A and B are shown apart, each in its own frame.
Chain A
Amino acid sequence: MRLNRIAAVIERHVYDAKHNLERVTDTLYWPVMDIIVWGFLTLFLARHGNLRPGLISFLLGAAILWGMFRAFQRDLAVSFLAEVWSHNVIGLLATPLTLREYLSGLLAINLLKAIVGTAAAALVALLFYSYDFFPYLIALLPFIFVLMIFGLAVGILVTGLIVRYTTKIQSFTWSITGLIMPFSCVFYPVSALPGWMQPLALALPTTQAFEGLRQVVAGGGFSWERLWAGLALDGVYLLAAVASFDALFRSARVRGLLVRIE
């Protein structure tokens, strides 16, 4: 791995942010909007006495972390789509840049964006709803890591699908988290799901992370069990995503799709 090539990928997206206002609004707009909506809901429930103590922390904490996961996964895939839209894919493929370097660059820039977006959402929650997310941050960092790795796996898979099936399936970039969300138990415990959905839910790292979050917020301490389960599942999904990407990329090369991707 060469640092200059990773830096070049970061530099490309820094220039992009300088010229494209929508890249900046994507980073800040959605996380903040999510928190505003969930904040009003919790206020409404609290005023009518329907909110048991601690639930506001579950809801807003979960909204902040889900926003972070969704933005990270989406931005990874959009970063690649930006190369597709500008017909820059083959230009990059004809340089010494390796896939690992490219992904490292994307990870660095999108991690930064996710941190900025999450910090903005947490700040809005603090200023407008007096919900302080920051005391939980240290205990939640391992679960945030679980979410980021899963976001990376989903981003790699979506990128592979775009390489193979071109932009015909680019809407997947924005919709795939919607598919995962009901199974991820973001705002409710696994026990709230019908029996047939529970094994599927438990097979997702997101579920393990949000169950872990609820335990921390409820004062039940840190769940190592949830963390190890989340990390193990992350490993499986990441390996599967990398293998799928490899197969999809090879298939695109055989079919000559890399030069026609748009």
Chain B
Amino acid sequence: MPVLEVDHLSKDFGKGRVVDDISFHVEAGEIVGLLGPNGAGKSTTIHMLLGFIDPTAGTIRIFGKSLRRNREDIFARLNMASPYAGFPNRLTVFENLMIYARLYGVAERAAKIRNLLGRLGIEELETKQMLELSFGEIARVRLAKAFLNDPQLLLLDEALGGLDPYAATLAKDVLTQLQREHGTAILYTSHNMVDVEEMCSRVIFLRRGRIIAMGGPTEVTRAILREDRKKPALSEAFIHASRGEPHAVE
């Protein structure tokens, strides 16, 4: 059963259409990459899924329900990480995570937080204020926040951006472990094509608000490059699509 269903979703800002009639779904336990060049509509799509932006048209169902009418239930089982989301700067890492853990009703908050900080390799940051952290460290705290409620659906908007290779590996390990242990479905936007090829079973490629290709990484590569490829080459496909060269759909 799909945990996320998006049907004919569009968003206009003024006279410009930012997301144009997109439909897709994410199954339980699936990791799906949402790709596209800057301005393709990825973040707007994620923000519509989270209810931060009202769609102009279309419907969104999460766990088979409408977000508007089932907000509390849905957000108890969902989490997100986005560079748009910050934390109160003067609070320590531990304090910030304690607040979020309480909001999610996490049992044994302190133990859960320490476990996540350890798994993400940032246990030494526990008592540091957010304003003392580097961009990459903040990204890891965001991920710790995103895993607090063992979500069934995780929306990650450029969540691994800014991480060094070691931190990115740890984060990916936690993501895959979460997927294995809790059957978490992940919708994941990134500009790192290697990560996407490695982690995602399916890819949705957006350009100028429209889906131009959807399927496994190799299928999407083939569809965009219009060549018979045996292996995924999403970086090449990305550059090709970003140049605005002709493309196939799905």
Contacts and interface: CB of A to CB of B under 8 A. Distances in A.
B87 A94 contact: no
Contacts of B91: 12, 15-16, 19
B201 to A, nearest CB: 25
Interface stretch (B2-10, B76-84, B224-232): B76-84
Nearest to A92: B103
Contact of A259 (B52, B54, B76, B103): B52
B192 interface: no
Contacts of B53: 253-254, 256, 258-259
Interface size class of B (residues with CB under 8 A): 35 or more
A256 B47 contact: yes
A37 to B, nearest CB: 31
B71 A98 contact: yes
A96 B67 CA distance: 11
Interface in B111-147: 129, 145
B103 A255 contact: no
B80 A94 contact: yes
A255 B100 CA distance: 27
Interface string B96-107: 001110111100
A2 B52 CA distance: 22
A127 to B, nearest CB: 33
B52 A93 contact: yes
Interface residues of A, number: 32
B145 A2 contact: no
A88 B95 contact: no
A225 B156 CA distance: 57
B129 A87 contact: no
A239 to B, nearest CB: 22
Contacts of B98: 11
Contact of A11 (B75, B79, B102, B145): B102
Secondary structure of the A side of the interface? helix
Contacts of A97: 103
A88 B130 CA distance: 12
Nearest to B86: A87
Nearest to A258: B52
Interface string A1-37: 0101101100110011001100000000000000000
B87 A86 contact: yes
B85 interface: yes
11 contacts: A5-B102, A5-B103, A5-B105, A8-B99, A11-B99, A16-B88, A90-B50, A90-B84, A94-B50, A96-B72, A98-B72
Given A4-B102, A90-B82, A96-B73, 20 more contacts: A2-B105, A8-B103, A12-B99, A15-B91, A15-B99, A16-B91, A86-B86, A87-B84, A87-B87, A88-B86, A88-B88, A90-B84, A93-B51, A94-B75, A95-B100, A95-B103, A97-B103, A254-B53, A256-B13, A259-B52
Interface of B: 11, 13, 43-44, 47, 50-54, 71-73, 75-76, 78-80, 82, 84-92, 95, 98-100, 102-105, 129, 145
